[in-house]
Amino acid sequence: MSAPAHGHALDETALVRGASSGFTVLIIGELMSPVVAGIHPMIGLLWLSFVGAAGFVVAGSRVGLARRTWLQGALAALAALTLTIPLRMLVGLDTAGQWYAVMVSAVFGLVVGAIAGRSAGAIRDRTDA
């Protein structure tokens, strides 16, 4: 049994869809952060980490027909985070600490997106075979 044949290394359409979906999860989750913190302060402390992971998984899972699913997932997650930067700058992304947090999120997004992309690709290939 051979592996199914897929298109190019990256599926650009799926990458844009993944980035858009991940961006939506990140923005809605970040906007809900004050509400969650008001309801339960302990959950509020962890909320942004959960939202980040969820947004990166959603973005990275959209692999389409890509052959390099780990790369597709990592780039989609990074693109989702990159789409949030203009909005972050509007509310004051101006200190070194805030930029450091964005860089840490980028590394986290690359790792989580790559894992999500690889997992989605394995599931896709298993169902194609």
Do the domain assignments include residue 4? no
Residue 3 pLDDT grade (very low, low, confident, very high; cuts 50, 70, 90):
very low
- pLDDT > 80? residue 4: no
Do the domain assignments include residue 108? yes
pTM of the model: 0.88
Domain extent, residue 84, equals 12-128
Do the domain assignments include residue 16? yes
Do the domain assignments include residue 44? yes
- Residue 125 contacts residue 67 (beta carbons within 8 Å): no
Do the domain assignments include residue 2? no
- pLDDT > 90? residue 8: no
- Residue 72 contacts residue 113 (beta carbons within 8 Å): no
pLDDT tens for 11-53 read 999 999 999 999 999 999 999 999 999 999 899 889 999 999 9
Residue the block writes with tokens 């809605």: 28
Q: Total structural domains in the chain?
A: 1
Mean pLDDT of 95-117: 93
Distance CA 24, CA 42 (A): 24
Cα-Cα end-to-end distance for the chain? 8
Average pLDDT, the chain: 90
Do the domain assignments include residue 6? no
Do the domain assignments include residue 20? yes
Mean pLDDT of 62-80: 95
